[in-house]
Structure 1
Amino acid sequence: MKKIVMLFLVAALVLSVGGCAKKAVVTPKIGVAIYKFDDTFMSYVRNQIQSAANGKILLSVQDSQYDQPKQNDQVDQFLVEGDTALAINMVDPSAVSVIIDKCKTKNVPLVLFNREPVAADMAAWDKVYYVGAKAQQSGTYQGEIVAEYWKAHPEADLNKDGILQYVMLMGDPSNTDAKYRTEFSIKAIEAAGIKVQKLAEDTAMWDRVKGQEKMAAFLTANAGKIEVVLANNDDMGLGAIEALKAAGYFKNGKYMPVVSVDATPPALDALAQGTLLGTVLNDAVKQGQATFDLAYALATGAEVKSDVAPLALADGTVDSTGKYIWVPYVKVTKDNYKDFLAK
């Protein structure tokens, strides 16, 4: 009889434990990896994500230090720790398939942001999403700023040949944004009826110091010939301005138009000082907020089609697939830069 009672007790305990296991609550957590913390623009995106998450959900934010294998390891750790959604700012967007496969295996939704992967990778799984801005638009706006200046300032044509001679500072050549900003800025200038000649083009990898070094080299090789400087982001543009200052520009009437992208606070300062002709607002606050909103909805089990799409910002757009949220760019010049100083 005692054995029978004991068996019933053991069975009851097993059922009790099993019942508890079934009722175990998974704590929502979001794992975030940033391609490198010392990128000025991404620091503002990161700050917004952290601010939005404060008191709302557990968040782990990691610096991938411009190292794709390190980022892959960080994703592995997020998954081991049971994160319920990931938000990844890729080091190398062309390597995203590895991370998609990792998340797919664990059925953990993935939000990619700011560094856009190719469409084929986005189509590989129905739980991968992207938040960013259309790089073609940023390049077009850069070109329009240059074209407006060129037409209003005939003295900008230094050799009076009717051709705009320019140099280009590119970001990571494997990055979609870098490619489109480079391509569409020039297309916009040409669309305005202006002939162009590329004197030099090189990558400064989004970095201010490298931008300064590359610009110094451009000036040495093309002394007195450069009429416009285009940079894929503000950090490189500000680096170019430092090189130009060292070469005697921005004083005694010697000027060089420099146009970049992001509208970071240091770039707005340069606009106020008159050393930067224009930039294009890549809205870090709205990108960070949209990234968090989407990741939060996914981490907490929201239905994407019905719940996530409305999270798009009022002036943002969600594409027809429901997998992309686009935050619009805005042209920023001396005429309107004060509107963005608080950003």
Structure 2
Amino acid sequence: MKYSYLILIILVALFAGCNQSTNSEKSKANKIVIGISMLSMQNEFIVNINDEMQKKAQELGAELIIVDAERSPLKQIEQIESFIAQKVDVIILNPCEYEASSPAVTKALAAGIPIVNVNSATKIAPTAFVGSNDLESGRIAMRFIADQLGGKGNVVMIQGLNGQAAQIQRELGAKEILKEYPELKLIAQQTAEWDRSKSMDLMQNWIQSYGAKINAVFAHNDEMGLGAVKALQDAGMKDKVIVVSIDAIADALQAVKKGHLDATVFQDARKQGAGAIETAVKIAQGKQFEKELLIPFKLLTKEDVDSYLK
């Protein structure tokens, strides 16, 4: 009897252990897996979006597979193909380019995997988009310049990476405002590829070419805006030139507070990152979701920047 009782206890324990293991495997299998391809982890604003996605995923119990496309659309397409092979539940795409990254969206949809674009658009419409209207940011920045210059003067525009949605739309938005001011002239525009040092080099060249003719600079992001500020400071021209850029990264907020950068247009990385994960999870769970979640921009000057400083 003793042996029979002991065997019975062992069998119950083994069954309980197997049941726990099965439940654990089921729990793991039920976890939502999201594949994420980011434009570039060398860009502070993109890193901020990434950080917020990780926080929200942890809160919602989703598993993330995050890869860096390093600004290469071809690499991004390969990453999406890898996610398809891994059979992730949802893909989040932070596109490198408007047209060149579009095949990534096409491939995901053809494979039956929902895809959410975050921060930037593609020519091919994804399942959902979470970001901001970049036309709006270009309008806000150029309207600020027009107001500061009284509608008269010469402007240079430092563009983002050519072909990316933000570059295209911020340029279009700025030019919409320029049309309203015939005496506000765009005398030069060129890409610095979202990069601070490239922007500094470009601004130095423009200073040599145009000198005191430059009255204002519109940079498509803060990294490039700060590069322009440094070049103007080195040339002893910053006090005479208005500089406005976009994103409200930490360095830019400090520069606005110190009066080095005249304004930055706040783009909410927290809401974009969290919103992308929330949307992806809703899609995976078969719940209703917004096909387009647009988060507003806001102009920040020295007077109102303090509340945005961490």
Q: What TM-score results when the alignment is normalised by the length of structure 1? A: 0.78
Alignment match, 1:188: 177
* Displacement after TM superposition at 1:26 (Å): 4.9
Kindly provide the amino acid, as one letter, of the partner of residue 130 in structure 1.
F
Alignment match, 1:336: 304
Kindly provide the amino acid, as one letter, of the partner of residue 78 in structure 2.
D
Equivalences for residues 231-242 of structure 1 within 5 A? 231-242=219-230
| 2:273 equivalent to 1:291 | no
Alignment match, 1:245: 233
Alignment match, 2:127: 128
Alignment match, 1:142: 141
Equivalences for residues 1-343 of structure 1 within 5 A? 25-54=29-58, 56-118=61-123, 121-122=124-125, 128-151=127-150, 163-191=152-180, 193=181, 195-250=183-238, 254-299=239-284, 301-303=285-287, 307-309=288-290, 323-342=291-310
Could you tell me how far apart the structure 1 residues matched to 2:182 and 2:305 are?
A: 26
Alignment match, 1:17: none
Could you tell me how far apart the structure 1 residues matched to 2:182 and 2:34 are?
A: 48
Q: Provide, for residues 276-302 of structure 1, a one-character-per-residue CA deviation record: whole Å limited to 9, x for no partner.
A: 111111111111111111112123x22
Kindly provide the amino acid, as one letter, of the partner of residue 262 in structure 1.
D
Given the superposition, is the C-alpha separation of residues 148 and 173 from structure 1 closer, same or farther in structure 2, using an over 3 Å criterion?
A: same
Q: Provide, for residues 281-329 of structure 1, a one-character-per-residue CA deviation record: whole Å limited to 9, x for no partner.
A: 1111111111111112123x223xxx323xxxxxxxxxxxxx2110111
Q: What secondary structure sits across from 1:138 in the alignment? A: helix
Alpha-carbon RMSD: 2.0
Alignment match, 1:9: none
* Displacement after TM superposition at 1:61 (Å): 0.8
Could you tell me how far apart the structure 2 residues matched to 1:81 and 1:27 are?
A: 14
Kindly provide the amino acid, as one letter, of the partner of residue 308 in structure 1.
F
Could you tell me how far apart the structure 1 residues matched to 2:195 and 2:258 are?
A: 21
Alignment match, 1:316: none
Q: What secondary structure sits across from 1:248 in the alignment? A: coil
Number of equivalences? 284
Could you tell me how far apart the structure 1 residues matched to 2:44 and 2:214 are?
A: 27
Given the superposition, is the C-alpha separation of residues 80 and 169 from structure 1 closer, same or farther in structure 2, using an over 3 Å criterion?
A: same
Q: What secondary structure sits across from 2:236 in the alignment? A: coil
* Structure 2 spans left out of the alignment, 5+ residues: 1-21
**Structure 2 contact 77–101 (Cα < 8 Å) conserved:** no
Could you tell me how far apart the structure 2 residues matched to 1:186 and 1:68 are?
A: 27
Q: What TM-score results when the alignment is normalised by the length of structure 2? A: 0.86
Q: What secondary structure sits across from 1:198 in the alignment? A: strand
**Structure 1 contact 164–194 (Cα < 8 Å) conserved:** no
* Displacement after TM superposition at 1:95 (Å): 2.5
**Structure 2 contact 146–184 (Cα < 8 Å) conserved:** no
Q: What secondary structure sits across from 1:206 in the alignment? A: coil
Given the superposition, is the C-alpha separation of residues 32 and 145 from structure 1 closer, same or farther in structure 2, using an over 3 Å criterion?
A: same
Q: Provide, for residues 161-204 of structure 1, a one-character-per-residue CA deviation record: whole Å limited to 9, x for no partner.
A: x841111100122122212222322432553x461222211111
Given the superposition, is the C-alpha separation of residues 223 and 97 from structure 1 closer, same or farther in structure 2, using an over 3 Å criterion?
A: closer
**Structure 2 contact 192–202 (Cα < 8 Å) conserved:** yes
Kindly provide the amino acid, as one letter, of the partner of residue 43 in structure 1.
V
Kindly provide the amino acid, as one letter, of the partner of residue 211 in structure 2.
A
* Displacement after TM superposition at 1:106 (Å): 2.4
Q: What secondary structure sits across from 1:223 in the alignment? A: helix
Q: Provide, for residues 228-251 of structure 1, a one-character-per-residue CA deviation record: whole Å limited to 9, x for no partner.
A: 01111111101101111111234x
Could you tell me how far apart the structure 2 residues matched to 1:258 and 1:130 are?
A: 30
Could you tell me how far apart the structure 2 residues matched to 1:224 and 1:203 are?
A: 21
Alignment match, 2:7: none
Q: What secondary structure sits across from 2:296 in the alignment? A: coil
* Structure 1 spans left out of the alignment, 5+ residues: 1-19, 152-161, 310-322
* Displacement after TM superposition at 1:256 (Å): 1.7
Runs (4 or more) in structure 1 with deviation over 6 Å come to none
**Structure 2 contact 159–193 (Cα < 8 Å) conserved:** yes
**Structure 2 contact 134–166 (Cα < 8 Å) conserved:** yes
**Structure 1 contact 146–189 (Cα < 8 Å) conserved:** no
